[in-house]
């Protein structure tokens, strides 16, 4: 049996999720029985503006009715780009690597302000963004285009302006994933990554954006489930006192709130386990532990924390310290209910910024024939291979065809998966050939098609690292994400000479002139 005082303390250090789009039994049990003080929302919880406004208002009302004196922190991962949680009726904005291609801190600030306003209009008061990881590993499966780029100073400049923009709207920003998830080839959702770099290299690279964020006043930092051998060879950063207290608190001087990433990720759940992980994270110096999905694991953590207190392993003073930081954070946000609709002028401003920023981020890599005639027929070839980024959820490439149709009224736009080109589409009959690809694998036959066609373009809707392999196309654009606004920007550049203004934010290895596309494809 957990007494009411301890129950309240434990509830305040938890951030929990549930599956429904309304106050279901799971959500009610979290707040009514366990006094959970913080909620995380995913796409599964958000379908349209009015629905999420009602959900967030109902959650706040339920917390007040059950004696919570501070508002709930209601958070989500609105990183923009590929990782976004707001519903399709909310204007979307480019993500980090696209913004990195703009090299424009003022644009990053504008996106931060607009993102904060859109979240606040939905009743969400904390954004688990920005990602401050430096993507210095082209094969990184979890960060990639979620990063601003591979230059520590550029990531710092863009990330701090995003933080300032968010927090000026009253929405809490959260820098992640400390101390850096950018140089891994393992996704911590699936397994435990290990980084072996010397600490001096981390000081020059991974830690630079986090130090800048702390100096700029970021209010929260999220931990990474990664073992940094030079810091703590035994424990992931999330449960390491050396990393959270020794490095983040004492060495870097961070006084704000530390939250874990979700403890249900396999790096923790398949290691020490969710319940034990929650206790170890609090002992390490985390203030809030995140358990995003399953009620049984949430209750496992509650029981484990209570038992650790009763056994004197976890001092009550450590919980009180964490709750004090969370209360200070909550004092900066409002629990007032949202209006019944998102203001029209906010939507208009958001769509204006969407188009402006998409053009600023779109990166022309090959531009051999900049003046194409308006097409009568367009063949859109969809690359069936795309990387699975757990944080992004589903990302169907085939919606691109509809977006192309919207930008080119009057043109016949046909789409087909690359595997079925021979059976379903005669590419030579199309005025334009658009190859929409995640840029992971390069098929030599497709390269030949791009070389032979008079008006061929490649739209790289994910990683830009292998773009030189597609250089036989007449035009190649890096979009960094398969989002309608970036597709629209690329097609407008092709049809209406609205040229992209971006420049690559990452280093890409050149290809030697004596290597043919077929050789490149066969080596991939």
Domain ranges of the chain: 4-330, 355-523
Per-residue pLDDT at 183: 67
Which of the four pLDDT bands, split at 50, 70 and 90, describes residue 181? confident
* Dist. CA 122–CA 56, nearest whole Å: 7
The two structure tokens encoding residue 275 = 């319940």
Strand partners, 176: 131
Mean pLDDT of the chain: 90
Please enumerate in sequence order all residues whose Cβ is within 8 A of that of 456, keeping only pairs 6 or more positions apart, or say none. 432, 433, 434, 435, 449, 450, 473, 474, 475
Domains 4-330 and 355-523 share a fold: no
Per-residue pLDDT at 89: 94
Which of the four pLDDT bands, split at 50, 70 and 90, describes residue 188? low
Which of the four pLDDT bands, split at 50, 70 and 90, describes residue 421? low
* Dist. CA 188–CA 392, nearest whole Å: 14
What kind of fold does domain 4-330 have according to CATH? TIM Barrel (3.20.20)
pLDDT tens digits for range 451-499: 989 999 999 999 999 899 999 999 999 999 999 999 999 999 999 988 8
Per-residue pLDDT at 267: 83
Please enumerate in sequence order all residues whose Cβ is within 8 A of that of 222, keeping only pairs 6 or more positions apart, or say none. 128, 174, 175, 176, 177, 178, 258, 259, 260, 261
Q: Would you say the C-alpha torsion 434, 435, 439, 444 has a positive or negative sign?
A: negative
Q: Radius of gyration (Cα) for the chain, nearest Å?
A: 24
* Dist. CA 461–CA 94, nearest whole Å: 12
Instruction: Please tell me the least confidently modeled range out of 61-65, 91-95, 264-268, 442-446.
Output: 442-446
Instruction: Please tell me the least confidently modeled range out of 135-144, 297-306, 474-483.
Output: 135-144
Tally: H helices and E strands in the chain: 19, 16
Q: What is the mean pLDDT of residues 442-455?
A: 87
* Dist. CA 350–CA 393, nearest whole Å: 24
Catalytic residues: 189, 261
Per-residue pLDDT at 514: 38
Q: Would you say the C-alpha torsion 85, 90, 94, 96 has a positive or negative sign?
A: negative
Report whether pLDDT(336) > 90: no
* Dist. CA 441–CA 49, nearest whole Å: 38
Per-residue pLDDT at 502: 97
Which of the four pLDDT bands, split at 50, 70 and 90, describes residue 519? very low
The two structure tokens encoding residue 142 = 């979890």
pLDDT tens digits for range 236-293: 999 999 999 999 999 999 999 999 999 999 889 999 999 999 999 999 999 999 999 9
DSSP class of 144: G
- In 83-142, DSSP assigns E strands to 126-127
Kind and range of the H or E run holding 97: helix 96-102
Q: Is 327 exposed, middle or buried (0-12, 13-18, 19+ CB in 10 A)?
A: middle
355-523 architecture in CATH?
3-Layer(aba) Sandwich (3.40)
Report whether pLDDT(34) > 70: yes
**Phi and psi dihedrals of 73, rounded to 5?**
-85, 120
**Phi and psi dihedrals of 176, rounded to 5?**
-145, 155
Per-residue pLDDT at 446: 85
Which of the four pLDDT bands, split at 50, 70 and 90, describes residue 337? very low
pLDDT tens digits for range 14-28: 999 999 999 999 999
Per-residue pLDDT at 398: 61
Kind and range of the H or E run holding 260: strand 257-262
């Amino acid at each position: 049996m957990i007494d009411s005082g301890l129950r309240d303390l434990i509830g305040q250090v938890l951030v929990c999720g549930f599956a429904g789009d309304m106050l279901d039994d799971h959500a009610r049990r979290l707040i009514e029985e366990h006094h959970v003080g913080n909620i995380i929302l995913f796409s599964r919880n958000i379908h349209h503006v009015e629905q999420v406004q009602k959900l967030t208002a109902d959650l706040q009302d339920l917390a007040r009715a059950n004696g919570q004196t501070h508002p709930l922190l209601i958070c989500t991962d609105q990183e923009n780009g590929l990782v976004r949680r707001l519903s399709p009726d909310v204007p979307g904005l480019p993500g980090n690597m696209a913004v990195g291609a703009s090299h424009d801190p003022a644009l990053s600030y504008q996106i931060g302000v607009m993102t904060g306003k859109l979240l606040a209009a939905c009743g969400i008061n904390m954004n688990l963004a920005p990602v401050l990881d430096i993507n210095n590993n082209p094969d990184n499966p979890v960060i990639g285009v979620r990063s601003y780029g591979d230059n520590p100073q550029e990531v710092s400049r863009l990330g701090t302006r995003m933080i300032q923009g968010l927090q000026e709207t009253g929405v809490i920003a959260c820098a992640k994933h400390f101390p850096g998830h950018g140089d891994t080839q393992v996704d911590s959702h699936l397994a435990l990554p290990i980084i072996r770099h010397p600490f001096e290299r981390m000081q020059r690279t991974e830690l630079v954006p986090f130090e800048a964020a702390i100096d700029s006043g970021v209010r929260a930092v999220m931990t990474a489930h990664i073992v940094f051998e030079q810091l703590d060879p035994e424990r992931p950063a999330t449960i390491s006192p050396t990393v959270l207290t020794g490095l983040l608190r004492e060495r870097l001087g961070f006084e704000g709130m530390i939250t874990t990433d979700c403890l249900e990720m396999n790096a923790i759940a398949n290691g020490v386990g969710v319940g034990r992980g929650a206790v170890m994270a609090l002992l390490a110096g985390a203030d809030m532990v995140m358990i995003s999905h399953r009620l049984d694991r949430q209750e496992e953590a509650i029981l484990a924390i209570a038992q650790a207190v009763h056994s004197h392993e976890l001092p009550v003073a450590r919980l009180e310290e964490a709750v004090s930081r969370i209360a200070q954070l909550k004092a900066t946000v409002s629990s007032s209910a949202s209006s019944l609709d998102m203001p029209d002028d906010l939507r208009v401003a958001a769509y204006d910024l969407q188009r402006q920023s998409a053009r600023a981020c779109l990166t022309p890599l090959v531009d051999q024939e900049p003046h194409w005639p308006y097409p009568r027929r367009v063949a859109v070839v969809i690359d069936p291979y795309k990387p699975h980024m757990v944080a992004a959820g589903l990302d169907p490439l085939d919606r691109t065809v509809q977006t192309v149709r919207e930008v080119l009224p009057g043109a016949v736009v046909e789409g087909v998966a690359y595997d079925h080109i021979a059976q379903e589409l005669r590419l030579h009959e199309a005025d334009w050939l658009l190859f929409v690809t995640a840029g992971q694998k390069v098929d030599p036959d497709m390269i030949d098609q791009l070389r032979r066609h008079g008006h061929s373009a490649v739209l790289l809707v994910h990683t830009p690292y292998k773009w030189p392999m597609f250089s036989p196309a007449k035009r190649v654009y890096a979009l960094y994400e398969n989002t309608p606004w970036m597709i629209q920007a690329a097609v407008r550049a092709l049809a209406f000479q609205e040229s992209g203004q971006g420049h690559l934010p990452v280093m890409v290895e050149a290809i030697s002139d004596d290597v043919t596309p077929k050789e490149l494809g066969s080596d991939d």
